[in-house]
Amino acid sequence: MGKRETPCAPVAVPAGLAEAVRDYRWARDGVGESGGAVYRLSGRRDAPDLFLKHGEGAVADEIVAEMVRLRWLAAHLPVPKLVAFAATPDAAWLLTTALPGETAWQLLDRAPEQRGAVVDALARFLRRLHAIPVAACPFDAGHAHRMHLARARIDAGSVDEDDFDDARAGWSADQVWEALAAHLPLAVDPVVTHGDFSLDNLLVQDGEVMGCIDLGRVGIADRYQDLAILANGLGEFDAALVARMLAAYGIAAPDEVKTTFHLLLDELF
C-alpha cells in the first residue's frame, strides 16, 4: 500500500456497486482528491485492486466527465478499466481497476538511477497521446474554455491559494488571473491532451508507462497544457530531467510563454 494512503472502513455505496466492492480492504488515497474522496480497494482474493471515486455537487460533475472521457480514451491508450458507475442528481461514484506499477513520482523518488529511463518513457507516452487524431476527440479543453471555468472558480471562492507553486506563493487567485490575461493572445497548436499530465497520474512498470489516470480534463488543447505540467514536476527532481524530456519528446527550444501560461492556468484548478 502506498505511503500516501490511509486504511479506513468501507463506505456506503449505491446498491449497484455493493457486490463489486465486497470483501475488499479499503484505504483513503490522499493524492489528487480535488474535493472528492478517492479510495483504493485491495486484498480481495482472485480479484484486481480497484479505485473508487466519490463526490457531490461540482465534484460529482467532474466524476461524470471523467467517466465519459475514460470510455472514449480506452480506444486509444491504456487507461483503467471501467468496472461500475452510479450517479444521482447530487452525487457520483466511479469504480475502476487499478493500473499496474507505481506512479512516476514514486519511481523517480525511489530509484534515482532509473530517472533517465523513466523520463524517456514518459516522453514516449506523451508523444503517443498527442498523436491521437484531433478529429477523433469530442472534448474541448482549450485555454479559452478552461479560462471560463477558472473565472467561475475564482468568483465562487473555490481556488486554493495556499496550494500555489512556490513561484506564486502569496499570490491571490485574481493576481494569477491577471498574469494569465497578460499572456494573451496565445497561438494554439492543438492536440489531444490529458489536461493534468502530472507524475502522480502516470503509472510505470518495467521501464514503460502502463497507463494514465485522472482523466476528467482530457480534451483538445495546446500541447503545452501537458508539457508544462510534466516539466514542472520533473523540475522538482532535477532541471536536467526537463531538458531530457523535451529532447525525447522532440522540442529543441521550449516555448517559455506557453509554459508559463499553462502553469498559471493550472493554479486555478
Q: Which residue is catalytic, options 196, 214, 222, 255?
A: 196
**Pick from 95, 100, 86: which is nearest to 21 by CA?**
95
CA distance 195 to 215: 8
Q: 186 with 258: CB under 8 angstroms?
A: yes
Name the residue with cell 497548436.
189
Amino acid symbol at 64: V
CA distance 102 to 249: 22
Residues in the chain: 269
CA distance 249 to 119: 10
Whether 196 sits among the annotated catalytic residues: the reply is yes
Q: Where are the alpha helices (DSSP H) in the chain?
A: 15-21, 58-73, 104-110, 115-130, 143-155, 173-182, 224-235, 239-249, 256-267
Q: List residues with catalytic annotation.
A: 196
